[in-house]
Structure formats: C-alpha cells, structure tokens
C-alpha cells in the first residue's frame, strides 16, 4: 500500500472509531471512510483489532508530538516564570481542532475498555499520555536545574501543573458554562499560583 493511501486509511479510521467506538465500527465503514476496499484492510492488517491497534498508536503519537511542541514553546525557555506558566496553562486549555477526533476516540476507548486488548491500551498510554507527561516532567526538572523550581518528581509536578491550569478550566467548562477569556486567565493564574506555592524556590 502506498504511504499516502495508508495515511488516508488511518485518518479515516480515526473518524470512524471516534464516532462508533471499537466494538460498533464495521470493516465496511472503515473501508469507506478510508477510501479503500475491505480486502485492502484484511490484506494489510488482517482484522479490525490490528487496524485499531495501528490507528491508536499512529494517532496517539501524532497528538503527543503536537502537545510536546506546545509545552516546549512555553516551558523550554523561561523569561518570567509565572507569566510563562500562565501562558502554558492557557495554551494547554485550547482544544486543538486537529486532535478533536483523537480525543473523541479516546473517550470511546474509555467507554469500551473491557472490549479492548490490554496491549492496545498499554501502547496508547505509552505513545500518548505517558510520553507527554514524561516530556513535560523533564522540562520542569530542567527548570529545577536552572534554579526556577524545586522538583523532586517531574512527572508528578507535570500532572499538578496541568490539572491546576487546563484541568481547572476544563472542570468549569465541563459544567456547561462558557468560560470567557478573562475568566479563563483568572482560573489559570490562580492554578499557577497554587503550583508555585508548592514548587517555586
């Protein structure tokens, strides 16, 4: 299979798995959305589960690379620690339209977890959230070395930073409220202040 056709299939399959989940997605719908025949799917991947495994790993890797690039932009070179952390938190709160289908698929994975092979779940975590958390943790440890923060566990600090900023904004918006930019900045700034109270030198 040509690489461009393979990418079309993987992208189309993400959309199908995002809409229908693993259990309900059919080979026919996956083939139609990917612009290939069902025979091509069987020839290339053998079955739906192996296609799903490939889709999950490919999509998680791509989204992780975009997220790590965002983190590096704001945490890779600190000028004003508080302001840069606030900028990171606000950027992390923005929903990336290119990642929308991926996170819809992740929601389906969480809802259908009992029907998904453990190695697929482990592969998704390793390629996606675990990789991102580790990368941000390394950036925070670097800020410790530079004298900005006091970090004993980089990955735990990464979880705290994300949950106190973007996670707090998501918690408010998840109630059905529209979070205006000024309120979002206030929420993120408050979260950064709590983070700095724990981690600043």
> Mind listing the pLDDT tens digit for each residue in 5-33?
889 999 999 999 999 999 999 999 999 99
As beta bridge partners, residue 200 has: 149
In the block, residue with structure tokens 């083939």: 31
- Please give the C-alpha separations between residue 105 and each of 16, 141, 158, 192, in angstroms, as whole numbers: 9, 32, 24, 30
| Position 196 confidence tier, pLDDT thresholds 50, 70, 90 | very high
Report the candidate in 58, 84, 56 with the shortest Cα–Cα distance to residue 71.
84
Of the two residues 136 and 175, the one the predictor is more confident about is 136
Report the candidate in 51, 53, 46 with the shortest Cα–Cα distance to residue 126.
53
- Please give the C-alpha separations between residue 163 and each of 32, 52, 168, in angstroms, as whole numbers: 39, 29, 6
Q: Output the pLDDT for position 128.
A: 96
| Contact indicator for 49, 28 with CB cutoff of 8 Å | no
Query: Does 200 have pLDDT greater than 90?
Result: yes
Query: Does 4 have pLDDT greater than 90?
Result: no
Q: Output the pLDDT for position 11.
A: 94
Query: Does 179 have pLDDT greater than 90?
Result: no
Residues 93-113 have a mean pLDDT of 92
Would you state the structure tokens that stand for residue 144, as one six-digit string?
């410790």
> Mind listing the pLDDT tens digit for each residue in 35-71?
999 999 999 999 999 999 999 999 999 999 999 999 9
Q: Output the pLDDT for position 149.
A: 97
As beta bridge partners, residue 118 has: none
- 90 vs 83: CA distance, rounded Å: 11
Q: Output the pLDDT for position 86.
A: 97
Report the candidate in 96, 172, 174 with the shortest Cα–Cα distance to residue 132.
96
Could you give phi then psi for residue 200, rounded to 5 degrees? -70, 150
Question: Going by C-beta distance under 8 Å and a sequence separation of 6 or more, which residues neighbour residue 78?
Answer: 84, 143, 146, 148
In the block, residue with structure tokens 């990171």: 88
Query: Does 173 have pLDDT greater than 90?
Result: no
Helices (H) and strands (E) in the chain, counts: 11, 0
Strand, coil or helix: 180? coil
Query: Does 175 have pLDDT greater than 80?
Result: no
Question: Going by C-beta distance under 8 Å and a sequence separation of 6 or more, which residues neighbour residue 146?
Answer: 78
| Position 171 confidence tier, pLDDT thresholds 50, 70, 90 | confident
């Amino acid at each position: 299979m040509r690489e461009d056709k393979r990418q079309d299939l993987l992208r189309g399959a993400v959309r199908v798995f995002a809409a229908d989940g693993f259990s309900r997605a059919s080979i026919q719908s996956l083939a139609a959305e990917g612009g290939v025949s069902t025979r091509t799917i069987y020839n290339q991947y053998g079955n739906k589960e192996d296609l799903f495994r490939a889709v999950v790993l490919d999509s998680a890797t791509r989204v992780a690379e975009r997220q790590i690039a965002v983190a590096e932009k704001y945490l890779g070179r600190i000028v004003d620690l508080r302001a840069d952390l606030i900028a990171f938190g606000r950027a992390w709160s923005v929903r990336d339209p290119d990642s929308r289908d991926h996170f819809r698929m992740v929601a389906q994975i969480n809802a259908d977890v009992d029907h998904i092979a453990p190695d697929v779940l482990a592969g998704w975590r390793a390629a996606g959230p675990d990789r991102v958390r580790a990368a941000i943790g390394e950036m925070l440890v670097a800020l410790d070395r530079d004298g900005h923060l006091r970090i004993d566990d980089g990955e735990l600090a990464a979880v705290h930073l994300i949950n106190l900023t973007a996670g707090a904004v998501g918690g408010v918006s998840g109630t059905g409220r529209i979070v205006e930019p000024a309120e979002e900045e206030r929420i993120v700034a408050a979260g950064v202040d709590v983070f700095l109270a724990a981690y600043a030198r």
